[in-house]
Amino acid sequence: MPQVTLTVNGQSHTVEVEARTLLVEVLREKLRLTGTHVGCDTSQCGACVVHIGEDSVKSCTILAVQADGAEVTTIEGLAAADGALHPMQEAFREYHALQCGFCTPGMVMSAIDLVRKHPQGLSEQEIREGLEGNICRCTGYHNIVKAIAAAADVMQGRTSELARAAAE
């Protein structure tokens, strides 16, 4: 059986897989990192989004063997060691950017990639279009968009309502 070595959230893991094993199966079933969800399993819904390097990818549509040697970040790897949330997580909480929560990990991971790829900032339209690969079936998009705009301000060093609220 093929062996793959992945660095997940900074920690190296070597696991035995089948060639057909998906990256998300390794994360959930072998490493027990169940924050990454499987929604549609057809690369449409985005619940399974993780980062490989800096890029957001759908972990249901990558074989574990294709990710051999990769640096993977999952939702569990975002918060600081002391438990302080990533600004995107903090903004999702502050703006109540979730209803049932199933899509949330994928939304957060996609949103971070989106902000990073727009260092000059993002319009509301760009945020909405940038979430094309993520589906919220509660249709709670409004607060998700607000949260991402606020987190972008924090991540890119602009003053925002969120930063002001945190400072008070």
Partner 1 sequence: MYDFAYHKPTSVADAVKLLAEDPDARPISGGMTLLPALKHRLNMPSALIDLSGIAELRGIRREGDALVIGAMVKHFEIATDPQIMAAIPALSRMAATIGDTQVRNRGTIGGSLANNDPAADYPAAALALGATLITDRRQIPADAFFVGMFTTAMEPGELLVGVSFPIPEKAGYAKLRNPASRYSMTGVFVARGPKGVGVGVNGAAACAFRQKEMEAALAANWSPEAVAGIRQPADDLNSDIHGSAEYRANLVTVMAKRAVADAG
Which residues are at the interface with partner 1 (CB under 8 A)?
Answer: 2, 18-20, 41-43, 46, 49, 55-58, 61-63, 65-66, 68, 110, 113-114, 117, 130, 132-133
Closer CB to partner 1, 16 or 165, in the complex? 16
CB of 106 to partner 1, least distance (A): 9
Could you tell me the strand order of the sheet in which 49-52 lies? 11-16, 3-8, 71-73, 49-52, 55-58
Residue 51 DSSP code: E
- In the chain the first and final C-alpha atoms are separated, in Å, by 55
Closer CB to partner 1, 46 or 140, in the complex? 46
Compute the half-sphere exposure of residue 62: CA atoms within 13 Å on the CB side of its CA: 21
Closer CB to partner 1, 132 or 168, in the complex? 132
CB of 49 to partner 1, least distance (A): 6
